[in-house]
């Protein structure tokens, strides 16, 4: 496919198809932009892994969606050929995405315990501060090293330039996966040669074990959510 735009689109559709067929049904897969209650907006995102059981995209037209950040589990940047320039571009988009995801607003079911009264079910507003996870998948790479070791060395150098939180990079034709160890600076990587796509899949699933998604708080997207009496409302009846 000589046209680079079409090549990229086809690459995205291939990866989307794989994820749609393999991820558990609580995950949905789409393409579009992600926005937050404070008005921040991501770049166009190749693949968005999101919740459609308790939530839904705000808009879905012509194959692209607009996602409130509260619905998003993870994002994937897809590249036909990953170069240093393309890696830097993807990392910049991920830095922007993480800024969008710094505050996610939910309504969580709880129980109100008051002395002398029966327990009462309530809906509580909650803010989560952990952004969605972010990955890069490439069909091949050029200029990042002829071996897995050199590739990881170059990737670590790029990650340390601005402490970018790329959670994993998969190169399909080499069958490589390099994931970033959490909370380590300078960057430390795990992974290896062989089972690259399976390693990506496992990383995505494990990453959701401590990442909670609830029904989103729609009031957070209004200008000034207040109670009827004018006071700020933190508990919903």
For 150-195, what is each residue's pLDDT tens digit? 999 999 999 998 767 899 999 999 999 999 998 888 999 999 999 9
pLDDT digits (tens, 9 = 90+) for 96-135: 999 999 999 999 988 888 888 888 888 899 999 999 999 9
Report yes or no on 134 lying in a domain.
yes
How far, CA to CA in Å, does 142 sit from each of 83, 155, 190, 195? 5, 13, 21, 20
Lowest mean pLDDT: which of 4-8, 10-14, 126-130, 187-191? 4-8
- Say what the pLDDT of residue 40 is: 95
* Count of domains for the chain: 1
| CA pair distance 195, 162, nearest whole angstrom | 29
Phi-psi label, residue 231: left if phi above 0, alpha if psi -120 to 50, beta otherwise: beta
Task: Quote the percentage of the chain above a pLDDT of 70.
Answer: 89
- Say what the pLDDT of residue 7 is: 66
- Say what the pLDDT of residue 4 is: 55
Average per-residue pLDDT in the chain?
Answer: 88
Q: Which domain holds residue 120?
A: 4-214
- Say what the pLDDT of residue 114 is: 81
Report yes or no on 43 lying in a domain.
yes
Report yes or no on 83 lying in a domain.
yes
Report yes or no on 228 lying in a domain.
no
């Amino acid at each position: 496919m000589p046209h680079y735009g079409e090549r990229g689109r086809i690459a995205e559709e291939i990866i989307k198809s794989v994820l749609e067929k393999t991820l558990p049904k609580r995950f949905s897969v789409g393409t579009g932009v992600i926005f937050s209650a404070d008005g921040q907006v991501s770049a166009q995102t190749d693949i968005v892994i999101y919740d459609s059981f308790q939530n839904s995209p705000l808009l879905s037209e012509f194959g692209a969606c607009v996602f409130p950040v509260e619905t998003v589990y993870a994002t994937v940047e897809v590249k036909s050929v990953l170069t240093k320039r393309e890696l830097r571009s993807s990392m910049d988009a991920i830095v922007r995405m993480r800024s969008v995801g710094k505050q996610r607003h939910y309504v969580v079911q709880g129980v109100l315990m008051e002395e002398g009264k029966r327990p009462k079910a309530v809906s509580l507003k909650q803010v989560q501060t952990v952004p969605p996870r972010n990955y890069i998948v490439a069909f091949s790479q050029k200029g990042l090293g002829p071996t897995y070791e050199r590739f990881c060395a170059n990737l670590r150098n790029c990650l340390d330039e601005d402490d970018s939180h790329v959670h994993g990079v998969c190169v399909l034709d080499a069958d490589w996966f390099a994931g970033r160890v959490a909370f380590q600076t300078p960057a430390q990587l795990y992974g290896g040669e062989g089972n690259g796509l399976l390693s990506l899949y496992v990383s995505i699933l494990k990453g959701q074990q401590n990442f909670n998604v609830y029904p989103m708080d729609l009031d957070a997207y209004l200008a000034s959510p207040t109670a009827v009496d004018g006071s700020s409302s933190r508990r919903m009846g």
